[in-house]
Amino acid sequence: MASVNLGSLVQSYSIFNQASRTNSKSFPLPRSFPFNPFKNISSSTPKRHSFTSLPSISSVLTKEDAVMEEDQDPQLPSFDFKSFMVQKGNAVDQALDSAVPLRDPVKIHEAMRYSLLAGGKRVRPVLCLASCDLVGGKESMAMPAACALEMIHTMSLVHDDLPCMDNDDLRRGKPTNHKVYGEDIAVLAGDALLAFSFEHIAVSTVGVTPERIVRAIGELAKSIGTEGLAAGQVVDISSEGLTDVGLDHLEFIHVHKTAALLEAAAVLGAILGGGRDEDVEKLRKFARNIGLLFQVVDDILDVTKSSKELGKTAGKDLVADKVTYPKLMGINKSKEFAEKLKSDALELLQGFDPEKSAPLIALANYIAYRQN
């Protein structure tokens, strides 16, 4: 990706935001924005490590994922992000398969497993596990939480696809849950996954103090309620058909609808891994940035890729007349915004152990340059 003049970019977005606020009609938002992606990252925190000592990142899930690190020492070991994601994804899949076995009532468990085990990138559970490792925890401490995050993410997809929401027939290259099991079972399968996610953290987490487990459950609940996913969803639905929605409004939707659960993934991993409060907050901000980045890229892909390439229906936001970053900013400025979010996210990882932060750096690059 071409280099971006971040100074001029910030200035241009500030002007754009002022104009949009002036011309847009007022829309009540549930709460104030939790962050400003263009706000300068504080450099007052002492840095224990420098990025100049980071290992080379080889995030090669597609040819666009390759990250050039020409200034790094060629003798440093590379990080194979593709193998890392496959390894961690397989571990998560095995844990999910064990956590939700096929049992009575068979039909609802079939429906739960149909969507839960349908594949996917497993970004949220892997982020949870990597964050746990970054602060010195063991994978076993965070695996139940990682599974819970994927259960909740799957629930949100099952419900999103319903006729009363996005009305989608395709998900991960397969018929959506309600197309296979009916709308009634799909709703109940999503509800069951949501309920079981909290039970799974509470009863299956080992090697972690009760105080940290309760704290993690509280963070997860907050991320999906009226301060998280649900808030983003309701404002998103209420925004359909509006022609004068501004960037602040759109950012609110996606910080809550998409970024909140990614933020929870990083925060849960850090809490359960025994991380210090300052490290938990750094990872919270990191995940918030890559969460918004994920949505910006998703919006771009929705209008530049085919359904076959995406594994889901392409162009559905355009058909539904939803407000997206490309619609407000255009494709090129949306890509520049994505690059800025990625840069801010990576800056927050300074000070952590370079080898342990390598998966998170590669994850940010993967989200920025993914093709589906």
- What is the distance between the alpha carbons of residues 137 and 125, in angstroms, rounded to a whole number? 15
The average pLDDT across 159-175 equals 90
Where is pLDDT greater, at 317 or 257? Answer: 257
DSSP 8-state assignment for residue 78: E
The average pLDDT across 148-161 equals 96
Q: Which residues of 130-160 are buried (b: 16+ CB within 10 A; e: fewer)?
A: bbbbbbebbbebbbbbbbbbbbbbbbbbbbb
**Least confident among 43-47, 99-103, 130-134, 234-238:** 43-47
- What is the distance between the alpha carbons of residues 56 and 96, in angstroms, rounded to a whole number? 32
Is residue 128 domain-resident?
Answer: yes
Contact between residue 309 and residue 372 where contact means Cβ atoms under 8 Å apart: yes
Q: Tell me which range, 1-15, 46-60, 117-131, is most confidently predicted by mean pLDDT.
A: 117-131
Residue 348, Cβ density class (10 Å: 0-12 exposed, 13-18 middle, ≥19 buried): buried
Count of residues in the chain: 372
According to the model, what pLDDT value does residue 311 have?
59
According to the model, what pLDDT value does residue 167 have?
87
Per-residue pLDDT tens for 303-360? 876 666 555 565 556 555 678 899 888 999 999 999 999 999 999 999 999 999 999 9
Contact between residue 113 and residue 192 where contact means Cβ atoms under 8 Å apart: no
Is 142's pLDDT higher than 90?
yes
* Cβ neighbours, 10 Å, residue 70: 6
Per-residue pLDDT tens for 14-39? 323 333 333 333 333 333 344 333 33
Which stretches of the chain are assigned E, i.e. beta strand?
56-58, 78-80, 170-171, 174-175
- What is the distance between the alpha carbons of residues 85 and 54, in angstroms, rounded to a whole number? 19
Q: Which residue has the tokens 């939700």?
A: 100
Per-residue pLDDT tens for 200-246? 999 999 999 999 999 999 999 999 999 999 999 999 888 877 778 88
Is 168's pLDDT higher than 70?
yes
According to the model, what pLDDT value does residue 314 have?
55
According to the model, what pLDDT value does residue 4 have?
35
Q: Which residues of 28-56 are buried (b: 16+ CB within 10 A; e: fewer)?
A: eeeeeebbebbeeeeeeeeeeeebeebbb
CA dihedral over 104, 158, 127, 252, signed as positive or negative: negative
Which residue in 349, 291, 350 sits closest to 123, CA to CA? Answer: 291
The average pLDDT across 128-148 equals 98
Is residue 63 domain-resident?
Answer: no
**Helices vs strands, H then E, count in the chain:** 17, 4
Number of domains in the chain: 1
**What is the pLDDT of the chain when averaged over all its residues?**
81
**Least confident among 50-59, 60-69, 84-93, 261-270:** 50-59
Is residue 55 domain-resident?
Answer: no
Q: Domain range for residue 361?
A: 79-367
Q: Tell me which range, 8-17, 40-49, 296-305, is most confidently predicted by mean pLDDT.
A: 296-305
Q: Which two tokens stand for residue 33?
A: 């924005």
Biggest CA–CA distance in the chain, Å, is 60
According to the model, what pLDDT value does residue 55 have?
35
- Residue 257 sits in a domain whose CATH number is 1.10.600.10
Amino acid symbol at 247: L
According to the model, what pLDDT value does residue 41 have?
32
Is residue 229 domain-resident?
Answer: yes
- What is the distance between the alpha carbons of residues 172 and 310, in angstroms, rounded to a whole number? 8
Contact between residue 136 and residue 274 where contact means Cβ atoms under 8 Å apart: yes
Per-residue pLDDT tens for 112-125? 999 999 988 899 99
What 3-state class would DSSP assign to 58?
Answer: strand
Is residue 167 domain-resident?
Answer: yes
Is residue 37 domain-resident?
Answer: no
Is residue 187 domain-resident?
Answer: yes
Is residue 300 domain-resident?
Answer: yes
